[in-house]
Structure 1
Amino acid sequence: MSRPQQVLASYRSLLRATRIAFDGDHRVFMAARQQVRQGYETGRTELTSEPEHYDEIDKRLEHASGVALLLRSNIVQGQLMHRKANEEPLSTGDHGIASQSDESVYKLRIHKHTELGDNDAVKGGKTSLAGTAKKIKWSNIDE
């Protein structure tokens, strides 16, 4: 794949990652997309397709790939949900996990790309959560 094709693919990958990570939060979604556009426009003006810029282009492509992975797998949005005092506690629903306090709950939007690790991986001194993701049925959670 040529470098211009790689740049375009990484740009699209970042835009998809922002859509996955910030779905439902229009303000943050648009700010993230603007940040991605701005970064690529800056790269377009600073770098050319000349061989002397290949190393810098490769570094930026690697960075963009890492950012896209981080957005897809590690960003979880929480939404504050108020409830009445006489209601039963909120359980996990079709769209995420709810954590409750006295009068309000946070509903987390976990999707199929979210990295799920367990505490045992952290307690055991592992530095990577690779292979610790729990298998759950995704048909009940929004994508």
Structure 2
Amino acid sequence: MAVALRTYRNLFRVTGLAFKGDERVLNAARDQIRNRFRENATLEPSSPEVSSAIEHAQDVAKIIRHNIVQGKKEGELYKLRIHEDTERGDNDTVKLPGGQKVKIDGKKCCDT
């Protein structure tokens, strides 16, 4: 299936981005991807489990791309490798359920 192959390749690209320079974690992530796809390789293409597995893999790729940040300890501090796809936010917007407004300094108001 073309969608499964694209998803598989995307997961490999995403892990390369998220775990760049950390061969141990990169290899472990890619081994896990291979194993999960092999487990599902025996499914019939028409099976509803296939679309569910592909959707799950796509969700995992989104989480890895947007929410995983590498940290490396340098002395007493940690240096984070944040890339262009890393989701950024602040504590105020993270705490609010969807659609609510954030008031900053009691004056400004913005959409979350």
If the length of structure 1 is used for normalisation, what is the TM-score?
Answer: 0.66
Structure 2's unaligned 5+ residue stretches are 100-110
Higher strand proportion: 2
Identity of aligned residues (%): 46
Deviation at 1:63, TM superposition (A): 0.3
Q: Distance in 2 between matches of 1:60 and 1:21?
A: 22
Q: Distance in 1 between matches of 2:41 and 2:5?
A: 11
Corresponding residue for residue 63 of structure 2 = 70
Count of residue pairs brought into register by the alignment: 101
Corresponding residue for residue 107 of structure 2 = none
| Pairs within 5 Å for 1:1-143 | 4-45=1-42, 47-49=43-45, 51=46, 53=47, 55-82=48-75, 104-123=76-95, 125-127=96-98
If the length of structure 2 is used for normalisation, what is the TM-score?
Answer: 0.83
Q: Deviations for 1:58-85, whole angstroms, at most 9, x for unmatched residues?
A: 1011100100000000001110002xxx
Q: Deviations for 1:38-75, whole angstroms, at most 9, x for unmatched residues?
A: 11111113x022x3x1x111101110010000000000
Q: Distance in 1 between matches of 2:98 and 2:25?
A: 30
Structure 1's unaligned 5+ residue stretches are 83-103, 133-143
SS in structure 2 at match of 1:126: coil
SS in structure 1 at match of 2:41: helix
In the TM superposition, structure 1's runs of 4+ consecutive aligned residues that sit over 4 Å from their partners are: none
Aligned-residue RMSD, C-alpha: 1.6
Point out the structure with max Rg over C-alpha: 1
